[in-house]
Amino acid sequence: MRVFKACFRIIWKNLPTLAIYLAIFLFFALILSFSGASNQPEHYADKKSRIMIINEDEGGEVADGLVQFLSGECQIVTPEKEKVAQLDSLFSEDAEYILSIPSGFTDDFLSGKHSLTIGKMIVPNSTTGVQVDLLVQKYLDTFRLYAETGRVTSDDTAALETIRKNIREDLDHSTDIVWAGAAQTGSVQTAAYYFKYLSYTILSVMILGVSTIMRVFNKPDLRRRMLGSPLAATRVNLELFLGMLCYAVAVWAVMMAISLVFVGPAVADQRIVLMILNALVLTVTALSLSFLCAQFIRGPGSQHSVANVIALGTSFVSGVFVPQSLLGDTVKNVASFTPTYWYVTAVEDISTLSSFGLQNTRDIYLAMLIQMAFAAAFLVVALGLGRQKRRKSN
């Protein structure tokens, strides 16, 4: 088993480089856990937009009532005094809507003139804008209804307080929700994000590892020396194949071990078991793709270039970094010619799975089969190319 052992000696020597990719992955995973991707509720919950309120009419009953109402319906961002800081906040989407209530708004509102309006700064035509507009309109229309029917003026503090109390009670009425969505647990959501990002690491680490092994065994001098050795060529190829397969399984096992940290005890969930299986299928496909890439890679520099371009490129177009639902149709059509796309499709389907009958899981298994078909195709092309290269060099 000399060749088999040599494979692992090569990997051991290049471990620091491979560790960089692992570290990048862990970094992404860490950001992910902080970004709250796992906080998906299991039932219906209002989506709370992030808004900043600049209230220059503090003490005004209408303005204060509106602020109090919006504080319950939205997530309030700490107001900034400087216009530049407000604009920064809007650009970065820290605040999706900036609402400025001018001084004297309450008096103007209650006088019925409505000459002073609330200013808003939003990303033009954003859905958040529509939502917050609706909330503001709802509150102020109701306030106007009470104030005008009761002929309330701005001096009548007691009446204004009653109106605010009445509106609070009225706005408690809500439509009954019948929830038909799948019961998605937080850990399955976290696992889905983890497994999606995993494709980037698996591809990079596999391409780098396999091409490093192949680069050594493809050196013309070494190959000629091996041809002269008493070891049969079939045996050499078999050991090489076994070595790379063991490497692939080791990469997969390490990634699954890390997944335990993120997923925790939910690892026994049938959906997560399917994700683990899907990751194994991708690892085998990545092995085959790496074998194909190794036919083109000459030096250590080009190894990194190829690994980065393939891993990043397929991740971007296949919905790893941006959800597939947000990708354009053309991009999705192009991406469907990559195994990563089918891997991500399977992960997304698994995460929304509610029952495990063949009817529901058929598409998932089909996506895995397509990945295997890619693996077979890559292997055939790589073997063909390898044979052609050897013939040329002989």
| Pairing relationship of beta strands 97-101 and 50-55 according to DSSP bridges | parallel
Q: In this complex, which beta carbon is closest to another protein, that of residue 76 or of residue 331?
A: 331
- Is 52 an interacting residue with respect to another protein (CB under 8 A)? no
Site for another protein in 363-392 (CB under 8 A): none
Spatial strand order of the sheet with 50-55 comes to 75-77, 50-55, 97-101
- Give the interface size with another protein as a residue count (CB under 8 A): 84
Q: DSSP states of 318-357 as a string?
A: HTSSS-GGGS-HHHHHHHTTSHHHHHHHHHHHHHT----S
Cα 70 to Cα 60, 136, 170, 218, 343: the distances in Å are: 15, 8, 15, 67, 42
Site for another protein in 8-47 (CB under 8 A): 20, 28, 31, 35, 40-41, 44-47
The span of 174-182, 213-221, 228-236, 363-371 binding another protein (CB under 8 A) equals: 174-182
Q: In this complex, which beta carbon is closest to another protein, that of residue 142 or of residue 154?
A: 142
Other CB atoms within 10 A of residue 300 CB: 13
The span of 161-169, 242-250, 270-278, 354-362 binding another protein (CB under 8 A) equals: 161-169
Q: In this complex, which beta carbon is closest to another protein, that of residue 43 or of residue 391?
A: 43
- Is 145 an interacting residue with respect to another protein (CB under 8 A)? yes
Contact predicate 351/188, CB 8 Å: yes
- Is 331 an interacting residue with respect to another protein (CB under 8 A)? yes
385 CB contacts (<8 Å, ≥6 apart)? 292, 295
Three-state SS at 219: coil
Site for another protein in 278-307 (CB under 8 A): 301-302, 305
- Is 79 an interacting residue with respect to another protein (CB under 8 A)? no
Quote the least distance from Cβ 253 to another protein, whole Å. Answer: 27
- Is 309 an interacting residue with respect to another protein (CB under 8 A)? yes
Look up tokens 């980037």; give the residue. Answer: 200
Quote the least distance from Cβ 226 to another protein, whole Å. Answer: 29
- Is 81 an interacting residue with respect to another protein (CB under 8 A)? no
Contact predicate 132/52, CB 8 Å: no
Quote the least distance from Cβ 152 to another protein, whole Å. Answer: 10
